[in-house]
Amino acid sequence: MAKIGFIGLGIMGKPMSRNLVKAGHSLVVYCRSSVTETEFKEAGAQIASSPREVAQNADTIITMLPNSPEVKEVVLGENGLIEGMRPNSMLIDMTSLDPLVSREIAVRLKEKNIRMMDAPVSGGEPKAIAGTLSVMVGCRQEDFDEFLPILKAMGSSVVRCGEVGAGNVTKLANQIIVAANIAAVSEALVLAAKAGVDPGLVFQAIRGGLAGSAALDAKAPMMMERNFNPGFRINLHIKDLNNVLNTAQGISTPTPLTENVMRMMLSLREDGIGDADHSALVRYYEKLAGIELPR
């Protein structure tokens, strides 16, 4: 089993790292939270004082960070991973970020004969805990084959989508579909409630048909139970949709649905609920309709 460096022990990274330990791997971690550091130290992880120190103690390193600037800082900044990684070591960046940034970092690492794959995930906190995430990977085929067992410790679906950057292009496509799906569920349930029909019964009636989806099954109950505890925050989805729009602009492709959902999410952030789960998108529709879904 491998000794794995892990940086980014947040809502997603913490359960993902725990599943690596369950699979028999040992960890060396860097974190800025003293509470998290104590938790992992008590669990037997080696604690590093910087990303560079993580790299000096592990040849396989996983990053799970908020966005492109944080990844660039951790990898390329002062005392960053690039200062400690050895030739032929591997960076598995599981952050959802701009594909062009993934490729930029990969070029910098390649200059030092360091390998990289981008491997963003989908499934939110519940699937991170269960180890059943969907992992979208961009890398060379031989690297994919070598590191597949590590990725399988965190995800039940692991698919190589192409070279470095392809993983994040795939994640952007995923986030378009998830955002539009949650918006459609919100719109439909608020319509039902406004028309005097029980949204819970509507949900039960349609989930087995063509309208059924993982997003419907996961998010409709949260909307009706008023449970907006974050599995995936609105603010993070805004970040992903911003990457979608930037990428789309760069390649001149239309994204009208994404643009509309982005406006909805930005409105919710202005209302002070950006840290709620993205199922809170229903509150945008409720506000316009002047109702609240019945429990």
Active site members? 171
Buried b or exposed e, range 159-194, using 16+ CB within 10 angstroms: ebbeebbbbbbbbbebbbebbebbbbbbebbbebbe
Strand partners, 190: none
Strand pairing of 133-138 and 90-93?
Answer: unpaired
**Longest C-alpha distance within the chain, in Å?**
65
Q: Distance of CA 265 to CAs 120, 166, 211, 216, 293, Å?
A: 22, 26, 23, 18, 19
Nearest partner of 7 among 74, 73, 77, judged by Cα: 74
